[in-house]
Amino acid sequence: MSQSPYRSFLAVLAALSLAACQSVPLGGPAPAASIAQPTTAGAPARGPFVAAANPLAVEAGMGVLRRGGSAVDAAVAVQAVLGLVEPQSSGLGGGAFLMVYDAATKEVTTYDGRETAPAAATPELFYENGAPLPFFDAVLSGRSTGAPGAVAALAMAQETHGALPWSSLFGDAERLARDGFVVSPRLAGMIALPRGQARTRWAEAYFTRQDGARYVAGDTLKNPAYAATVARLARDGIAALRTGPIAEAIVETVRAEPRPGALSLDDLAAYRPIEREALCRPFRVYVICIPPPPSSGVALLQLLAMAETPDAARALAQGETSAAAWTRFAQLQRLMYADRDRYVADPAFVGVPVAGLLDPGYVAERAALAPGLTGAAAAGTPPGGVFRAPDATAEPSGTSHMVIVDAAGNAVSMTTTVESIFGSGRMAAGFFLNNQLTDFSFSPVTAEGAPVANAVAAGKRPRSSMSPVIILDRQGGLVGALGSPGGSSILAYNAKGLIGTLVWGLPVQAAFDLPNLVAKGSGFGADTARFGPTLEAGLRENGILLQPNTSENSGLHGGIWRGDHWDGGADDRREGVARTE
């Protein structure tokens, strides 16, 4: 049997000296700064390790691992609980990208659970009276919901990588839904929002107590409909979401006023996740693996490749307290986002120049534009790139990330979402439905008639910023994993986590807690209070005027194996934890 491209890629890397990696096939230019030594000497990485955005979900995952479950088994349990206790971020009605590392084969596989547009969708899905709808009118409509894929992707992965029966993975979610769970402060804050998805008729019914008041932090919230749904999922598998009463409830909700959507039972029955080879490239002495398009992970790899060009490497080597390092990080982001917004889309519909975006010559050409870049960057023309118009797709908040490692060293890095807060604000069978189709460009062409890569089409998957990361050494051994929510800012957040840990040498928690800086277009979004006056003044001198980020804040979760223990982190901007035993 012929060797897969990924295994061949690892074979090439394994033949190279860790210290002498000046010319790596498929990689960018080597850094001018000295290459950091691995921090993973010792025993191979082993779990149990779980990092996720809610302690109840983490405990559900740990319980599966204690019973001998695999990392994927635990991910099923974690997702089922997250969809109940953190419904503003992810759930059974959403989508996901799932990365699985197999310790025995050292292979990384991607499961694409991105939602798809209905068969009846047209490029003018979000048009009304000849013009695009206001964004949140579209979000709250039935038109915004695509066929959900998160559970389908987990089911596909679990069929190959599971160790326990599928039916045994939903007990915690069913119990918490039936008996009730304590509303967390973050969920309470979302419930209290005065408008939008928290105020639809579905959300009002769910989040209003019998006394007429809204649920607040510390209240116990029960969801018997969710308990019945996960019980049916446990019994019937993914078929429970494709046919029968749950599927019928989804379609009925999508087709309700205002602005009903066209999602059908046939769309749900036809949905299939896609197993894809991971996209992996060297970075310093490591190998970074992400999902290929329609994930935007290729943009993250492009930024890391630019970070290894000599000038960028020297700037970044000055460390996390240096205004010069943060300035260069911002400049590289602007270049990355300009290319991402023009070229990344569903590869089944649009040619995405992945190899061109990562071509060493093109990477060097783009990185050379960074010094002195003070405004928005223009997109480049990578080898194989076909002209497409700039895309102004909006990507609001409502996403979560988990990292899980089992006792055998298998790992999962999964970013999962319902898109906006509480998705479309519509509920069926106890869970919120996604508004993922608003991740498409509302306009299929520009005013000049130029085509947009991320335009709506029947059966198409919208471009996603979700880019779960798995980190390997040059022999294919597991080093770590991370990821974040954040809408379009996900790429900046993940890049910060990788640079903080692998370049600046920080402990994982310290890297995650660094201030966020997002440079997309002509502006800067930031955790303004976290930079401190000295660093903020240095950035101001370099033309970076910090403003509060308008995207979702970060929720980095993950860990690095330190040879004998997991160095884990859970972003202090969320309610998650990282646990090992």
The beta strands (E) that lie in 264-360 are given as 274-277, 279-283, 286-290
What distance in Å separates the CA atoms of residue 285 and residue 473, rounded to the nearest whole number? Answer: 7
What is the CA angle 468-490-522, rounded to 5? 150
Residues 323, 308: Cα–Cα separation, whole Å: 18
CA pair distance 357, 433, nearest whole angstrom: 34
Residues near 61 by beta carbon (within 8 Å), at least 6 away in sequence: 50, 52, 74, 75, 77, 78, 402, 404
The strands making up 411-417's β-sheet, listed across from edge to edge, are: 274-277, 107-113, 95-102, 411-417, 399-405, 49-52, 577-580
Find the helix packing angle between 55-66 and 171-179, rounded to 10°.
Answer: 140
Positions marked active-site: 399
Tokens of 388: 């497409």
The burial class, CB within 10 Å (0-12 / 13-18 / 19+), for 3 is exposed
Alpha-helical runs (H) found in 349-389: 354-357, 360-367
Angle at 52 between CA 47 and CA 54, to 5 degrees: 130
Spatial distance between the Cα atoms of 464 and 457, rounded to a whole number of angstroms: 15
Residues in the chain: 581
- Dihedral Cα 355, 361, 363, 369, nearest 10 deg: -150
The sign of the CA dihedral 347, 350, 355, 357 is: negative
Separation of alpha carbons 505 and 513, rounded Å: 14
